[in-house]
Amino acid sequence: MSLLVSHAMTNLYPHTPTGLRELSPTLAKLRDHVFQYSVKTGDFTLKSGRKSTWFLDTKQTMCRPDGMLLVAQAALDVIPSDVTAIGGLTMGADPVAYGIAAIAATQGRNLRSFSVRKEAKDHGVTGRIAGALQVGDKVVITEDTVTRGTSPLEAVEVVRAFGADPVLITVIVDRGGTCGAMAKEAGLTFVPLLTAEDLGFDFGS
């Protein structure tokens, strides 16, 4: 979901990423890709009304083939081998889940993908599920970017009500720094591929 309402004096890739942790070669390449295509700096007003000096649109990474490969490779490194499905709340999760599932298939891993609708198409919880999710699946919940963490946790609730078992939340970038605590409270592990700090910004900035 785009968080941007208005901006001024935006420039692409003016910032040198420093980060606070040593990244694997794949994550370092992903960080560089995010900087090149997904990060803008300037004066922004987000949908929340909050002012920010940077804007992040990770779909600009995920919807490019080289970016999709990097995201999928990094995600598959952390997704448990017994996971059978991947998805999340539409539409932020959609390209992430579908891309990872497709790349997984080329590596002999069978991950079915699905979307969680924001509103039910039909009566009952099954009306919020679109795709190949099955009862009893072990599930990774995903998202492109999280700020507060409410979207993946909403998806967790729907998937549990459906009868599947979420075991992990993974996202391309954790911008806000709060999703980890929310995931832990829900009994889940949270593994962001990158964080705001990896990109050289403060959480919540």
Secondary structure element (H or E) that encloses residue 35, with its range: helix 25-37
Q: What is the pLDDT of residue 124?
A: 65
Q: What is the pLDDT of residues 181-199, one digit of tens each?
A: 999 999 999 999 999 999 9
Range of the domain at 159: 58-199
SS3 per residue for 178-197: CHHHHHHHCCCEEEEEEECH
Task: Check residue 23 and report its DSSP letter.
Answer: P
In a domain, 37, yes or no: no
Q: What is the pLDDT of residue 203?
A: 87
Task: Please give the residue that has the higher pLDDT: either 122 or 190.
Answer: 190
- Alpha helix (H) residue ranges in 48-142: 59-62, 65-78, 94-106
In a domain, 135, yes or no: yes
Which residue's entry shows tokens 């009893």?
136
In a domain, 27, yes or no: no
In a domain, 49, yes or no: no
In a domain, 86, yes or no: yes
CATH number for 66: 3.40.50.2020
Q: How many domains does the chain have?
A: 1
In a domain, 130, yes or no: yes
Angle in degrees, CA 131, 2, 182, rounded to 5: 70
- The answer on pLDDT for 15 being more than 60 is no
Q: What is the pLDDT of residues 27-82, one digit of tens each?
A: 999 999 999 999 999 888 876 677 888 989 999 999 999 999 999 999 999 999 99
User: Pairing between strand 165-174 and 138-146?
Assistant: parallel
- The answer on pLDDT for 178 being more than 80 is yes
End-to-end CA distance of the chain: 17
Strands (E), the chain: 4-12, 39-46, 51-56, 85-89, 112-116, 129-131, 138-146, 165-174, 189-195
- Chain centre to alpha carbon of residue 90: 11
CA-to-CA dists, residue 119 to 84, 101, 128, 205, angstroms: 24, 24, 6, 30
Q: What is the pLDDT of residue 51?
A: 85
Which residue's entry shows tokens 């390209």?
95
Torsions phi, psi for 3 (to 5 deg): -100, 0
- The answer on pLDDT for 6 being more than 70 is no
Q: What is the pLDDT of residue 2?
A: 41
Q: How far apart are CA 99 and CA 180, in angstroms?
A: 23
Q: How far apart are CA 107 and CA 104, in angstroms?
A: 5
